[in-house]
Structure 1
Amino acid sequence: MKTKFILFIFFIAAIAAGCKRSFLELAPVSNSNASNFFKTKSDFDLAVNNAYSTLYTMYGPTGLISYCGELMSDNATIFQVAGSGSITVGDRWAFRDYTLNPANNVVNQLWNDSYTSMYNLNIVLEKIQAATLDDAYKTQVMAEMRFLRGLYYFYMVQAWGDVPLVTKPITSAEAFITNRTPKAEVYNQVVDDLKYAGDHLTAPDKVPAAGRASNGAAWTLLGKVYLTMGNKGAAMQVLQQVYNSYNGNQYNLLPEFGSLWGATPAQKNTKESIFEIQYKGGANNPASIYWPAFSPFENFAITRFGGGMNQVTDDLYNEYEAGDKRRDTSFELGYFKGGNWISIKFQKKWKDIDAPIVNAAESCNNNFMVLRYADVLLMLTEVTGDPQYLNRVRTRAGLPAYGTPSYPSAKYPTLELAIEHERRMEFAMEFHRWFDLKRTGRAVAVLTAKGKPVNEDKLLLPVPQFARDQNPDLGQNKGY
């Protein structure tokens, strides 16, 4: 089975390499290997696994959602960072400093990664419909692929605004003439995909394997999408569906925040996890690299390799209230080098001190949670105005409840500011912050107050120049 999976990955790569390179980085549907492969349930099982493996790219420490969610926010910075291939240190600093331009190599890579990932979902969706397989299996596969497609387009439309909406495999010639779709239509497709997923996926305890999407994951993500679209009523309905169906049953907060983080089996796929990316440390496995990637550059006393990405800002660290258990669980304050203490803040949520060394870097065993139950609770307070859900999160952190005399109401005088503060503390370095500020319309005010040269135009990434060279009709976002 392992050999067949490797061959399948090679076959997908060969298809992409063999066709004329397009801005969407898609393979032609006419390729005979693709036509011959998708026949049996085993074939589709491998294709589904391959589609899920795109999560490693989209949610990687140098993926689209990390760059936007943390580096463009007030949570993270880069002091020194390793370059890679055509990507320079300056390309990465531009996200932090809001000096992006269409020629930025990271922006181009993120665009290509997004559409390469989308191809892997769309090819499964196309081929499964004509397959002679059990209807229940086909429906399950289609719902899982549509969940992933909805997830990816949700973040792509937030990053670029109007984007090419591709819901089937297309040829290279078609890719060159595929233009951007208005963001409202993209959001409609996201909602449609997630509704289908929510209606047809299984309950959390019935998923085919750990890490596969459930109806709870689809409903939770759909609630966040509705919030982002400004439809609080629809968000409330679907989030309460998650709460009423699974609160205390399938989903719950763990008693201790610290027990969420680590590389042991007990710290993976817990009752707090709603959708979690599966990793396994060691050679020839999809290993987690968040800990070394987010460690300081040349930090050989802590990790064998420090990527230097998403270093913790003083502003984030200093916002934690006295007694907040989450702060010391989440961050290191520095490390010793040559007997000298190097003072620098960096995350340790994905620390795996026993990780084996593979290719001169830690091959960690930690999973990554895309959605967890604390998010549901905080969104419920956001849509209902009821602080009871927020206070469950604060109680676990060892903090006084909102609305009590001990709450720091002078600093967070409204429930909206209390939610903003709580989300920042709870989800630090989990790729939420920038998207949260955009959703609430607070990004420009918050970030400019902290010295970032932000305006509304810069809250979208530029369309890569490489893409526009191939299709000038794509246009460009305002301000670039």
Structure 2
Amino acid sequence: MKTTSFLLISLIGLFLVSCSEDFLEYEPEGVLSSENVATAENAESLVIAAYAGIANDDMIGPLTHQWVFGSVRSDDAYKGGGGRGDVGEVDRYEQYNLTIPDQGELMAPRTWTNYYKAISRANFALRVINEIPDGEFANKTLRQAELRFLRAHSHFMLKLIFKKIPYITEDLTQDEVAQVSNDVDNDALWNTIAEDFLFAYNNLPNSQEEVGRADRNAAAAYLAKLRLYQAYEQNDQHQVININTSRLEEVISYVDEVAGSLESDFGNNFLDGFDNGPESIWAAQFSINDGTTVGRVSFVTGLNSPHGTGLYGCCGFHLASQNMVNAFKTDASGLPLLDTFNDTDIFTNVDSNGETPPDGGLTVDPRLDHTVGVPGRPFKYRNTVNETGDMIYNFSWARDPGVYGYFGNMKEQQAPDCSCYVKEGPFVGTSKNVDFIRYADVLLWKAEALIQLDRLSEALPIINQIRARAAASTQRPLDAGAEDIYNIGEYTSFPDKDFAWKALKFERRLEFAMEGHRWYDLVRWGEAGQVLSAYLAEERTKRDFLANAEFTAGRDEYYPIPQREIDFTGGVYVQNPGY
């Protein structure tokens, strides 16, 4: 947490020691045990260590920003970097070529391990706190609620990625942990995760004095999100076989309890200085300048800064797809081209200055210039840095345009003269928070539930509220010299449910482009196979590296359970279908 970040550094040396192979029963060895830390003071420190655990990720074992699993794996972005062999495991994810359940130590296996380490921190702290008499720890129930929230968060993310996961609680012995199966009923697993969120919801205050701690507001939002996913009931082949209307009603009920508001400018969400603002409902907290070498900064997107400029570092990963860029086109009324956006490509002609003059008459949603680096347009609302560095995005900033094209990512970047910014070797880290849930997401969950319940007129103003904020978010890029090709309008009506459903899905894509949500949306809706097969059929005509990519429905919606975990449990874990 930003207000207590100085504690995190001291705790790293105290608690972040190596763990045994069985990280599901993780207890820091040789330093502390549940027998010698059962005091209120030590318990508070363990809770802070548990908060640190949910953000202890890195560029290839992500816990926060889902740029590989949620963005590159979808139709939003390409892997990027220096060709297909550069961090080649991510290429296998992009190609849907994960038929071998274990791909070394990178990506999914490492992410599995990192989440369960975070869960083990929460469970270790819970075991300690459970032993402290109520009279000796005034905050006992409060801290238990925070820890169960953190534990539920990690299990929730694991379920989105792997579907079949074991749910590990603090009351299990090491032998019992090894016997917890991952082969449980899908709906029952959702309810188990919900039990932890419900405990948090019932025992946390509406807000907390220390910024960054979980509160009832965040718990209500997470319950809305969980019930939304749970509403789309899936069979063993990951097909949506029913949409549970009672769950959708719960979504609406929980959303209505969430206090928040949209930032006045869309870009505030992605700039240093606006962390924990009104739109941030739940976020991973980071900090800098704490006396250590690089501070408590995030390197989860450290590979992704523009490559062909001395202003940044390395390595040109996570690049917007042509399909994603095309989605920002608008019609004469300022509305998205729901069915025809990909009929023609925009920003395809690079001139002698390395810029892409827009086609005559082209208009776009202004969120384009908050999301994508486009040659010839200002990058991160700047045209220069310290009056010497050119911040107009250029074709030369692309590391391998012959393979991946030349569109960049912008949301996860900060200007290189930002006080939040640090370079460790060639890699860029920042102290900018990573939002897990922002209020725009909460609003669109409600709109989605309303549309599925045939309450179209109630969903319309919610979607228009998101679009009105986008329309009011043009000043930064214009001040930096962007050519004004913006045209965004609001819907006057939804003529039928099919139209409203398309509008909702499109709005989610534009609002959260390249934030790592897209993949999980497609899987939740049961549309991943249809959408991604159509995407690949068209995109491979523009990007040769996708020539052999093929999505296999019934397998590729989820990632394989790491084979080493199946082996370690002696076959207690079962593999997902198709692997």
For 2:129, the equivalent position in structure 1 comes to 128
Change (3 A) 1:457 1:129: same
Is 1:237 the counterpart of 2:250 in the alignment? yes
For 2:310, the equivalent position in structure 1 comes to 301
Change (3 A) 1:401 1:413: farther
Tell me if the contact between 1:291 and 1:348 (Cα under 8 Å) persists in the aligned partners. no
Tell me if the contact between 1:28 and 1:169 (Cα under 8 Å) persists in the aligned partners. no
Is 1:273 the counterpart of 2:272 in the alignment? no
In the alignment, the residues of structure 2 paired with residue 273 and residue 5 of structure 1 have an alpha-carbon distance, to the nearest angstrom, of 21
For 1:319, the equivalent position in structure 2 comes to 327
Change (3 A) 1:195 1:438: same
Is 1:285 the counterpart of 2:298 in the alignment? no
| Post-superposition offset of 1:362 | 3.4
In the alignment, the residues of structure 1 paired with residue 573 and residue 250 of structure 2 have an alpha-carbon distance, to the nearest angstrom, of 37
Is 1:200 the counterpart of 2:299 in the alignment? no
Residues 353-405 of structure 1, C-alpha deviations (whole Å, 9 max, x = no match): 2245442243423111111111111111111122211110011112322245x
Aligned-pair RMSD on alpha carbons?
A: 3.1
Tell me if the contact between 1:153 and 1:186 (Cα under 8 Å) persists in the aligned partners. no
Is 1:458 the counterpart of 2:471 in the alignment? no
For 1:224, the equivalent position in structure 2 comes to 225
Tell me if the contact between 2:181 and 2:573 (Cα under 8 Å) persists in the aligned partners. yes
Tell me if the contact between 1:291 and 1:349 (Cα under 8 Å) persists in the aligned partners. no
Tell me if the contact between 1:224 and 1:235 (Cα under 8 Å) persists in the aligned partners. no
In the alignment, the residues of structure 1 paired with residue 24 and residue 34 of structure 2 have an alpha-carbon distance, to the nearest angstrom, of 19
In the alignment, the residues of structure 2 paired with residue 202 and residue 82 of structure 1 have an alpha-carbon distance, to the nearest angstrom, of 49
Is 1:260 the counterpart of 2:326 in the alignment? no
- Matched AA of 1:469: D
| Post-superposition offset of 1:58 | 5.6
| Post-superposition offset of 1:423 | 0.5
Tell me if the contact between 2:302 and 2:428 (Cα under 8 Å) persists in the aligned partners. yes
| Post-superposition offset of 1:5 | 5.1
Change (3 A) 1:136 1:346: farther
The structure 1 residue matched to 2:506, chosen from 421, 431, 453, is 421
| Post-superposition offset of 1:440 | 1.1
Tell me if the contact between 1:235 and 1:383 (Cα under 8 Å) persists in the aligned partners. yes
Query: Taking every aligned residue pair, what percent have the same amino acid on both sides?
Result: 24
Residues 292-325 of structure 1, C-alpha deviations (whole Å, 9 max, x = no match): 43224x444341233x432211111110133412
Secondary structure of the residue aligned to 1:275 is strand
For 1:345, the equivalent position in structure 2 comes to 407
| Post-superposition offset of 1:234 | 3.4
For 2:489, the equivalent position in structure 1 comes to 400
Tell me if the contact between 2:308 and 2:396 (Cα under 8 Å) persists in the aligned partners. no
Tell me if the contact between 1:72 and 1:95 (Cα under 8 Å) persists in the aligned partners. yes
| Post-superposition offset of 1:465 | 1.7
| Post-superposition offset of 1:235 | 3.9
Residues 210-250 of structure 1, C-alpha deviations (whole Å, 9 max, x = no match): 1111211111111111111114433433544443x45xxx4
In the alignment, the residues of structure 1 paired with residue 327 and residue 394 of structure 2 have an alpha-carbon distance, to the nearest angstrom, of 32
The 10-residue stretch of structure 1 (274-283 or 377-386) with the greater mean CA deviation from structure 2: 274-283
In the alignment, the residues of structure 1 paired with residue 310 and residue 300 of structure 2 have an alpha-carbon distance, to the nearest angstrom, of 17
- Matched AA of 2:326: N
Change (3 A) 1:240 1:277: same
- Matched AA of 2:44: D
Residues 15-46 of structure 1, C-alpha deviations (whole Å, 9 max, x = no match): x43x4x13x45325997822245333331222
The structure 1 residue matched to 2:92, chosen from 91, 94, 102, is 94
Could you list the runs of 5+ residues in structure 2 that have no partner in the other structure? 232-243, 331-362, 376-390, 452-458, 472-487, 537-548
The structure 2 residue matched to 1:333, chosen from 368, 374, 379, is 374
Tell me if the contact between 1:252 and 1:272 (Cα under 8 Å) persists in the aligned partners. yes
The 10-residue stretch of structure 1 (190-199 or 362-371) with the greater mean CA deviation from structure 2: 362-371
In the alignment, the residues of structure 1 paired with residue 294 and residue 505 of structure 2 have an alpha-carbon distance, to the nearest angstrom, of 40
The 10-residue stretch of structure 1 (318-327 or 58-67) with the greater mean CA deviation from structure 2: 58-67
From the CA coordinates, give the structure whose radius of gyration is larger. 2
- Matched AA of 2:277: T
In the alignment, the residues of structure 2 paired with residue 158 and residue 299 of structure 1 have an alpha-carbon distance, to the nearest angstrom, of 35
Change (3 A) 1:147 1:337: closer
Secondary structure of the residue aligned to 1:276 is strand
Secondary structure of the residue aligned to 1:53 is helix
Tell me if the contact between 1:202 and 1:215 (Cα under 8 Å) persists in the aligned partners. yes
Tell me if the contact between 2:224 and 2:254 (Cα under 8 Å) persists in the aligned partners. no
Change (3 A) 1:39 1:88: farther
- Matched AA of 2:247: A
Residues 159-217 of structure 1, C-alpha deviations (whole Å, 9 max, x = no match): 222211211275655554443241333211111111111111111xx313111112111
Q: Count residues with an aligned counterpart.
A: 459
Secondary structure of the residue aligned to 1:397 is helix
In the alignment, the residues of structure 2 paired with residue 5 and residue 275 of structure 1 have an alpha-carbon distance, to the nearest angstrom, of 19
Secondary structure of the residue aligned to 2:437 is strand
- Matched AA of 2:276: N
